[in-house]
Amino acid sequence: MFPNVGYVTGRLREARNVTGRLREVGRIHVKRVEEVSEPLREPGIITGYRHENCSVIQAVASLFNATNETVNFWTHFVASVYFAWLLVSLSTIMPLFEDPYLFPLTCYMIAACCYPLMSCLAHAFSCLSLTATHICFFIDYLAIAMYSWAVAYLYYSYCFPPNLMNSWFSQIYLPVAAVNAVLATLCASLSRFIIHPGFQKTLRVAAFVEPFVWDSFPLVVWLYTCDTSTESCGESRIYHLNQFFCVITASFFYGSHIPERLAPGCFDYVGHSHNILHIFSIMGTNEQMRAVLIDLKNRREGLEKENWLPTPMWALQATPSLLMCNIFLVLLLTYYLSKHMRSVHQTCPQNSSRQPLVTATIVPSSHTKDQ
């Protein structure tokens, strides 16, 4: 009477098996701190660690499960989408790609979209393997370094103090910022090869604090010397100060590992220092954007009178060259890392996938999620 019943039930059984297998592949078993190898452990984080050698499907599935990377991913993913939406919206009301006066803003907006995007991808796929973790974070550092360059170009173009224009400082400001962007990628990446946790953290923080200080110097001078009653800084100053507050707060939590260090186990999934770093860094970028949009509009006439127009060369030649230079650096570090991991695998195959070599003086040492 029902000749195809056997066929249909067979297909249904197969479909059930396939979905069961997919569920099993995507299932995330979080681990406690004592179950993961030493370099993976974070101060004050007791549980919520992912497997050390996830598949791509497991890495993606983990973003929809509670792990200590879930909030890290979503905070920067949402921010990246938000900045991309801002870029598209601004491009509909401003000639971002045609007007050379706006090229520094265009470079900055693209960098502001890319650095949270690279960060969230690094957090998502840092569990694939130890080698993949290091490469992911090399790329993350590259994106932050390019962002630091874009900020220097932005401040030079719209927030430079009149008393420093055409001085020796203005001559070296952008070339030094470009060198800083390469050094930041290099130092932050090399910090992953250092065993000593204090030295590693110091080098990584210094790699980004130094460009921040250099980039911000002319802005601080301008905010200090400008006349708030008549100049653009009267309107933008509050947003610039908010941005400094956000960056200092983010750096404090990143460097101190507070609050999880004070209450171990209480902030494993939500509210740990890296989550706070992400949120404040995005808020800082947002405030910076608001401030500069005010300055570039209010100061345009005055800057044009001073003949302080950024040459398009910085956007069309210097920025792509700097990006290429940083990419070359990351490829070089990746080559060195792969070579090193291969030699570890040959000499110590049972440990190669789980533990970096910790007896050498300079080795890939950390599997941390830090930016």
Closer to Zn ion at the Cβ: 231 or 268?
268
Tell the smallest beta-carbon distance from residue 62 to Zn ion (Å): 15
Residue 123 known to bind ligand:
yes
Q: Which is nearer to Zn ion, 126 or 326 (CB)?
A: 126
Cβ proximity to Zn ion: between 89 and 256 the closer is 256
> CA neighbours within 13 Å on the CB side: how many for 244?
12
Stretch that binds Zn ion, among 3-11, 48-56, 116-124, 335-343 (CB under 5 A): 116-124
Q: Residue 232, interface with Zn ion (CB under 5 A)?
A: no
Helix-strand-coil split of the chain, %, nearest 5: 70, 0, 30
Q: 138 exposed, middle or buried (CB, 10 Å; 0-12, 13-18, 19+)?
A: buried
The span of 56-64, 114-122, 189-197, 325-333 binding Zn ion (CB under 5 A) equals 114-122
Question: Is the omega angle on the peptide bond into residue 43 within 30 degrees of 0, that is, cis?
Answer: no
Shortest distance in whole angstroms from residue 207 CB to Zn ion = 14
Does 371 contact Zn ion by CB under 5 A?
yes
Our finding on whether 366 is near Zn ion (CB under 5 A) is no
Closer CB to Zn ion, 83 or 158, in the complex: 83
CA-based nearest residue to 254, from 213, 317, 179, 201:
201
Radius of gyration of the chain (CA): 24
Q: What track of x and - describes contact with Zn ion for positions 140 through 179 (by CB under 5 A)?
A: ----------------------------------------
Angstrom distance (rounded) from CA 178 to CA 53: 36
Q: How far is the CB of 122 from Zn ion (least distance, A)?
A: 7
Residue closer to Zn ion, measured from CB, 119 or 157: 119
Cβ proximity of 211 and 148 under 8 Å: yes
Question: How far is the C-alpha of 259 from the C-alpha of 273, rounded, in Å?
Answer: 6
- Give yes or no for a contact between 123 and 76, defined as CB atoms under 8 angstroms apart: yes
Minimum distance, C-beta of residue 68 to Zn ion, in the bound complex (Å): 12
**Which range, of 79-87, 112-120, 236-244, 280-288, touches Zn ion by CB under 5 A?**
112-120
Task: Kindly tell me the burial class for residue 42, based on how many C-beta atoms sit within 10 Å of its own C-beta (0-12, 13-18, 19 or more).
Answer: buried
Q: Does residue 127 contact residue 190 with C-beta atoms inside 8 Å?
A: no
User: To the nearest whole angstrom, how small is the minimum distance from the Cβ of residue 369 to Zn ion?
Assistant: 6
Helix (H) or strand (E) holding 176: helix 168-191
| C-beta separation of 213 from 200 below 8 A | no
Q: Is residue 32 classed as helix, strand or coil in its secondary structure?
A: strand
Count of residues touching Zn ion (by CB under 5 A): 2
Q: Which residue is nearest to Zn ion (CB)?
A: 371
- Whole-number minimum distance, CB 57 to Zn ion, in Å? 22
What minimum distance in Å lies between the beta carbon of 111 and Zn ion? 16
For residue 31, which phi and psi values (nearest 5 degrees)?
A: -115, 155
Q: Number of C-alpha atoms within 13 angstroms, CB side, residue 192?
A: 31
Q: Least distance from C-beta 137 to Zn ion, angstroms?
A: 9
Considering only residues 118 to 137 of the shown chain, the ones binding Zn ion according to CB under 5 A are: 119
CA 68, CA 46: separation in Å to the nearest integer? Answer: 10
240 is in an annotated binding site: no
Q: Which span (55-63, 105-113, 124-132, 363-371) binds Zn ion, by CB under 5 A? A: 363-371
**Would the annotation count 272 as a binding residue?**
no
* Feature table: binding site: 123, 274, 278
* Feature table: binding site for Zn(2+): 123, 274, 278
Rule CB under 5 A: which residues touch Zn ion?
119, 371
